[in-house]
Amino acid sequence: MSDGRLPDVGLGRSGRVPTPAEDGHWRRMHPTTPAIKGWKIVVAVLAVSWYQLGENLRELSKVHDVHVWAWILVGLVVVALIVSVYSALAWRATRFNVTDDAVHLQTGIVFRQQRQARLDRLQAVDVVQPLLARLVGLSELKLEVAGGHGSAVSLAFLKEADADALRTELLALAAGLQRPTTGDEPGVAEADAPIKSAVDAAQDVPPTRPSLTKRRAPADPIRTVFSEAPERPVYELPMPRLLWASLRSGGAVALVVVVVATVVAMILARDVGAAFVLFPALLGSAGFMWTRINQGAGFRAAISPDGIRLRHGLTESRAQTVPPGRVQAIRLSQGLWWRGPDWWRIEINVAGYGQSKDQASETVLHPVATLAEAMTAVWLVLPDLGVPDPQATLDAALHGRDDDGGFTPAPRRARWVDPLGWRRHGVLVTERALLARSGRFTRQLDLVPHERTQSLGLAQGPVQRRLGLASFVVHSTPGPVSASVSHLDGHVAAALLDEQAARARTARAVAAPEQWMTAPDVHPGPAA
């Protein structure tokens, strides 16, 4: 790490940094990894050189001396060789090991570093395939753990089958399953646990205990002795809906405005060069739309015993697995242009994702959900909302105002500080979560389970103080969801602060264990 810190390094009970077992099997990445990573360095060097020597290169383009261009070609070859040698040495010095408690990663040529991702702090496991890696059948395995910036551990690149097998092993170990230690041949823990979904909840499907089956372990050391847990598809985003929703988004509106402004500027200035002034805005709007389409293409969700499985991506495919209970908060938002078809965008906070550079694609639970799919997505994360009629409660939270659905609304005097949206501000505390509703033109609903509450706060500006108002804030892990309720009555907000603090303490005391498969009612036992 560039800052020298190891935020994801876990300490053992003795206070020292744990190390893998002496007889542990250290593995290296795929041999073609240097080639896949090396070309990025070459492109970066060329880009920096062009930026730094731009004017000289323009002058050089006028030179017709063959020897000059030969030296330039030799320089490029030397750079490519240096990058290739460095990438090969870096690959040689990089290795990883998976133990029952953590994933250990060693890197560095001159300065050796060892990082550790503790499995009991594992938040999500992603299999990412950039376009070039997908062409050669490789994948990157990303482990998101609860920690500060840069806490994720990346294993790039592995064979696609190996990455999937390793993900299965890590999820099984993080769930509390143990590798087989007895018997004539290794066993395979196959979780046939119930798949809890909205359909199960509606039909009152009784749960069943997970079972274990026995299978011969593969000879390849990268393979796992755990078989992949079964899954049940929940929803899938059709491509026509994604395209139509992108055209009805704020980015499309901004793109139309920029195009119209560009044409008007050209006509008034009578100069085509005037269009270049608005070119960055045009490029930004088009890039925003392309990003939404590229990340949402093929989006589908499934539920399995090891968590919520999300798959999506056009040029870069991503397969995410978020274990149960790792979602810290949920947000449903609806722009003005999505009001007609009643579409919703659903985002989540997951510890470890919030400070990632890929947060925009990692934290989406559904990019364009219908009302029914939105409710299903909420039930995936929060199966029990803690109310008698969850569907009616969510409908009031998404479309209602004032005290619809039992919400505590902002008082009438809040219209002086928010004349348009004050009737949408409201909060509802159920047995399981806190719901915060807001937004007149862009509707928004935030849900925070009580046991996932990080801290609470009250904010009061000078105008609010004069009117006896206050804003209630629920702090979560870094991410797109920042739950708050603006302009509540000051006394109501203060009472809510005390009540929610007590509920959060009680919920954390009875929360399920981090290793969910080791709970008393679902313990599968070791493989025979």
- Flag whether pLDDT at 203 surpasses 50: no
Q: Is residue 263 part of a domain?
A: yes
Print the SS3 string covering 321-334.
Answer: EECCCCEEEEEEEE
- 299 preceded by cis ω (within 30°)? no
Among 276, 296, 316, which residue terminates a domain? 296
- Flag whether pLDDT at 514 surpasses 50: yes
Contact between residue 77 and residue 93 where contact means Cβ atoms under 8 Å apart = no
Instruction: Check residues 365 and 271 and name the one with the higher pLDDT.
Output: 365
Residues forming beta bridges with residue 115, ordered by sequence position: 105
The backbone torsions φ and ψ at residue 97, rounded to the nearest 5 degrees and listed phi first, read: -145, 140
Q: Nearest CA to 167 among 121, 113, 119?
A: 119
Contact between residue 190 and residue 227 where contact means Cβ atoms under 8 Å apart = yes
pLDDT of the residue at 185:
40
| Spatial separation of the C-alpha atoms in residues 291 and 503, rounded to whole Å | 39
Q: Nearest CA to 326 among 194, 193, 511?
A: 511
Q: Is residue 75 part of a domain?
A: no
Q: Are residues 421 and 354 in the same domain?
A: yes
pLDDT of the residue at 354:
60
CB atoms within 10 A of CB 170: 23
Range with the lowest mean pLDDT among 35-44, 95-104, 230-239, 447-456?
Answer: 35-44
Q: Nearest CA to 308 among 245, 369, 240, 383?
A: 383
pLDDT of the residue at 84:
82
Q: Are residues 291 and 440 in the same domain?
A: no
| Spatial separation of the C-alpha atoms in residues 319 and 250, rounded to whole Å | 27
Q: Is residue 363 part of a domain?
A: yes
Tokens of 262: 């560009």
Q: Are residues 243 and 392 in the same domain?
A: no
pLDDT of the residue at 224:
63
* Residue that has been written with the tokens 């004017």 in this structure: 55
Tokens of 115: 């990082």
Q: Nearest CA to 396 among 384, 386, 408?
A: 408
pLDDT of the residue at 275:
67
Contact between residue 254 and residue 227 where contact means Cβ atoms under 8 Å apart = no
Share of the chain above pLDDT 70, in %: 76
Instruction: Check residues 181 and 294 and name the one with the higher pLDDT.
Output: 294
- Flag whether pLDDT at 225 surpasses 80: no
Q: Are residues 370 and 494 in the same domain?
A: yes
Q: Nearest CA to 301 among 352, 242, 377?
A: 377
The one-letter code for the residue type at 404 is D
Q: Is residue 125 part of a domain?
A: no
pLDDT of the residue at 51:
65
- Flag whether pLDDT at 326 surpasses 90: no
pLDDT of the residue at 3:
44
Contact between residue 176 and residue 169 where contact means Cβ atoms under 8 Å apart = no
Q: Are residues 349 and 473 in the same domain?
A: yes
Determine the distance from the C-alpha atom of residue 55 to the mean position of all C-alpha atoms in its chain, rounded to a whole number: 42
CB atoms within 10 A of CB 258: 19
Provide the number of structural domains found in the chain: 2
Q: Is residue 51 part of a domain?
A: no
Mean pLDDT is highest, among 98-112, 314-328, 427-441, for 427-441
Among 281, 296, 311, which residue terminates a domain? 296
The backbone torsions φ and ψ at residue 399, rounded to the nearest 5 degrees and listed phi first, read: -115, -15
Q: Are residues 337 and 458 in the same domain?
A: yes
Instruction: Check residues 379 and 57 and name the one with the higher pLDDT.
Output: 379
Q: Is residue 474 part of a domain?
A: yes
pLDDT of the residue at 35:
84
| 64 contacts: CB under 8 Å, gap ≥ 6 | none
Please give the average per-residue pLDDT across 262-274, as a whole number: 76
Q: Is residue 126 part of a domain?
A: no
pLDDT of the residue at 149:
61
Contact between residue 427 and residue 408 where contact means Cβ atoms under 8 Å apart = yes
Q: Are residues 359 and 248 in the same domain?
A: no
The backbone torsions φ and ψ at residue 283, rounded to the nearest 5 degrees and listed phi first, read: -65, -40
Q: Are residues 351 and 269 in the same domain?
A: no
Helix residue ranges per DSSP H, 142-278: 160-174, 198-203, 239-247, 250-269
pTM of the predicted model as reported, rounded to 2 decimal places: 0.79
pLDDT in tens, 101-144: 899 999 988 888 888 888 888 888 999 998 889 888 999 999 98
CA distances from 301 to 184, 233, 362, 395, 474 (A): 38, 6, 13, 22, 28
Q: Are residues 333 and 422 in the same domain?
A: yes
| 357 contacts: CB under 8 Å, gap ≥ 6 | none
- Flag whether pLDDT at 200 surpasses 50: no
Helices 239-247 and 250-269, axial angle in degrees (round to 10): 50
pLDDT of the residue at 52:
60
Q: Are residues 402 and 440 in the same domain?
A: yes
| Spatial separation of the C-alpha atoms in residues 313 and 29, rounded to whole Å | 24
Domain assignment of residue 286, given as a range: 238-296
Q: Nearest CA to 175 among 524, 523, 515?
A: 515
**How would residue 10 be classed by pLDDT, with cut points 50, 70 and 90?**
very low
CA distances from 520 to 119, 145, 176, 209, 523 (A): 20, 25, 12, 11, 6
Range with the lowest mean pLDDT among 195-209, 227-241, 465-479?
Answer: 195-209
Q: Is residue 101 part of a domain?
A: no
| SS3 state at 497 | helix
Q: Are residues 357 and 497 in the same domain?
A: yes
pLDDT of the residue at 177:
82
**How would residue 453 be classed by pLDDT, with cut points 50, 70 and 90?**
very high
Residues forming beta bridges with residue 190, ordered by sequence position: none
DSSP 236: E
Number of H helices, E strands in the chain: 14, 20
pLDDT of the residue at 348:
95
Q: Are residues 268 and 333 in the same domain?
A: no
Average pLDDT across the chain, whole number? 80
- Flag whether pLDDT at 29 surpasses 80: yes
* Residue that has been written with the tokens 């744990």 in this structure: 18
Q: How does DSSP assign 465-492, residue by residue? A: HHHTEEEEEEE-SSSS---EEEEEEHHH
- Flag whether pLDDT at 314 surpasses 60: yes
Edge-to-edge order in the sheet of strand 327-334: 364-369, 344-350, 327-334, 443-449, 433-438, 426-429, 408-409
Helix residue ranges per DSSP H, 341-381: 359-362, 371-381
DSSP 352: T
pLDDT of the residue at 55:
55
| Spatial separation of the C-alpha atoms in residues 454 and 447, rounded to whole Å | 13
